[in-house]
Every structure is written in structure tokens, then in C-alpha cells.
Amino acid sequence: MELNRSEKDFLMQAIETASANISDGGGPFGAVVVMEGKVISRSGNRVISEHDPTAHAELLAIRMAAAALGTHDLSDCVIYSSCEPCPMCLGAIYWSGIRRVVYASDRYRAASAGFNDEMIYSELALDSGSRSIAMDRALTDEGDRVFSLWDNYPGKILY
């Protein structure tokens, strides 16, 4: 799609963050969170350097934006990413309330560079018994009871 000049600039910032991140010991990914035309946060991928499998560029940029704004609700923000977000990061985008993602490369190019994004998308679409990881269910009644406690808890805040 055709971006306007500032949108193009934000996406280029995400791409340049990704490029710079490689020689900085990170993976080839970058993301920028923008609100009302201003950059709120920017991050590269820090999985290896921070010993954190969740330290993808988008997830870190979301965490940094939420911390900067003092709320878990980023529904006024747009996220720009050098690559199509993986399922973990896209899940984080939904939970944050972000309503628009602008990205450049995609899961297939990421796969050819050695990243499992496409495999994880395929796995999530399977039912839990058909996945490559074992998913075992037990203590169903005890687990459901936690939600009954929540349903009846007067102080709950939905998110």
C-alpha cells in the first residue's frame, strides 16, 4: 500500500533499527510505536543479549510504550515493524489494543533467514492434540473454579 510521508518515515525507522540491531548483537528485527504522529518507543530484538525468548522487537516496543504512557491500553497507537509480527507479537498487539500494524518484510522471508514464525503460525492453527509440543489437560474443575472466583470478585478490572 502507499504510505504518506510520515508513515513511510516511521516504517524506515523500524527498518533502520533492525539493520543497526544486527551489529549490536541482536536479531534482524526492529519496531516503533507511534501515537498521534510521535514516536513513543523503539526497539530491536534482544533475545540473545538479554537471555529472554520473549524479547522480540514488537513485544519490547509495546512494553516500553505502555510503561511510558502508564497504561496497558495502547488503542491510540500504531506499530511499525521491519517484518510481519510473529504470533507471539501479534497476540501482544491484540492485547494492547493497537488497531493498525504497518510492516515491510514477511514471515516467509523470515523463515528463509532461519526464523520459525511461519511454523508457529501453522502450529497455533492446529488443535492442541496435533501440535509438535505436548499439551496435557488436567484438574479442569479446579482450574474453572478460579474463573468462578473472578466472576464474583467485586474489585475486578477487565482488560
Provide the residue count of the chain: 159
Task: Give, as ranges, the residues between 58 and 117 that touch a copy of itself (CB under 8 A).
Answer: 59, 62-63, 66-67, 69-74, 82-84, 86-106, 109-110, 112-114, 116
Q: Which is closer to a copy of itself, CB of 34 or CB of 103?
A: 103
Provide the minimum distance between the beta carbon of 154 and a copy of itself in the complex, in angstroms, as a whole number. 11
130 binds a copy of itself (CB under 8 A): no
**Cα(102)–Cα(15) distance, rounded to whole angstroms?**
11
- Selected binder of a copy of itself within 5, 37, 130, 149 (CB under 8 A): 149
- Of 22-41, which residues contact a copy of itself (CB under 8 A)? 22-23, 25, 27-30
CA angle 6–12–18, rounded 5-degree value = 145
Smallest separation (angstroms) from a copy of itself to the CB of 50? 8
Cα–Cα distance for residue pair 137/128, rounded to 1 Å: 10
End-to-end CA distance of the chain: 32
Q: Does 140 bind a copy of itself (CB under 8 A)?
A: yes
Determine which residue in the list 5, 36, 130, 133 makes contact with a copy of itself, applying CB under 8 A: 133
47 binds a copy of itself (CB under 8 A): yes
Task: Residue 107: count other Cβ atoms within 10 Å of its Cβ.
Answer: 19
- What CA–CA distance (Å, rounded) separates 1 from 137? 44
Cell 509480527 identifies what position?
85
